């Protein structure tokens, strides 16, 4: 159970059984695993995958943003090169989003990640009951 959530995430499969598919559409999770019944509403990756994918894609393509303007290309060719570069960035980001989301989700499920729960130790700005000036 819960073996290698990263590998299962890269295959877009359930963290628990490794068989059931995670997504019902491009980035929408199913309600539960069709094979083992794992509830897919127990975790939420929020914008984590978009952050990591955007960061990775920008790192990979950043050198081209410095090199391309320095090339002595005629304007139509320069425009074409930028269109190709931006298309490649968008395509790579869209390609990477589902596996990144699946891996992050599987890690959350595997590690039972949830929002922090804590109790307040008192009201801010009010002294404790035994405080005397
Ligand atoms: Zn499953």
Distance 26 CA to ligand 1 centre (A): 19
Distance 103 CA to ligand 1 centre (A): 14
* Residues measured by CB to lie within 5 Å of ligand 1, the ion: 14, 16-17, 20, 33, 35-36, 38
Is the separation of the CB atoms in 103 and 11 below 8 Å? no
Distance 2 CA to ligand 1 centre (A): 9
Distance 35 CA to ligand 1 centre (A): 5
Q: How high is the pLDDT of residue 123?
A: 65
Is the separation of the CB atoms in 105 and 15 below 8 Å? yes
Q: How high is the pLDDT of residue 117?
A: 73
Q: How high is the pLDDT of residue 125?
A: 67
For 88-120, letters b (16+ CB in 10 Å) and e give ebeeebeebbbbbbbbbbbbbbbeeeeeeeeee
Q: How high is the pLDDT of residue 104?
A: 95
Q: How high is the pLDDT of residue 11?
A: 94
Return the domain boundaries, the chain. 5-110
Distance 86 CA to ligand 1 centre (A): 37
Distance 95 CA to ligand 1 centre (A): 23
Distance from C-alpha of 14 to C-alpha of 56, rounded to nearest angstrom: 24
Mean pLDDT for each 10-residue chunk of the chain (133 residues)?
83 92 94 93 91 96 94 95 96 96 93 75 65 66
Tokens at residue 131, please? 């405080």
Distance 15 CA to ligand 1 centre (A): 6
């Amino acid at each position: 159970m819960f073996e290698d959530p990263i590998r299962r995430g890269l295959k877009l499969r359930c963290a628990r059984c490794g068989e059931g598919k995670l997504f019902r559409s491009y980035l929408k999770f199913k309600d539960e695993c069709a094979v083992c019944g794992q509830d897919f509403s127990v975790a939420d990756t929020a914008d984590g995958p978009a952050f990591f994918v955007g960061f990775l894609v920008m790192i990979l393509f950043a050198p081209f943003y410095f090199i391309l303007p320095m090339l002595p290309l005629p304007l139509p060719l320069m425009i074409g090169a930028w269109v190709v570069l931006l298309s490649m960035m968008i395509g790579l980001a869209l390609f990477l989003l589902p596996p990144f989301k699946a891996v992050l989700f599987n890690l959350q499920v595997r590690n039972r990640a949830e929002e922090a729960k804590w109790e307040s130790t008192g009201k801010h700005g009010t002294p404790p009951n035994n405080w005397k000036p």
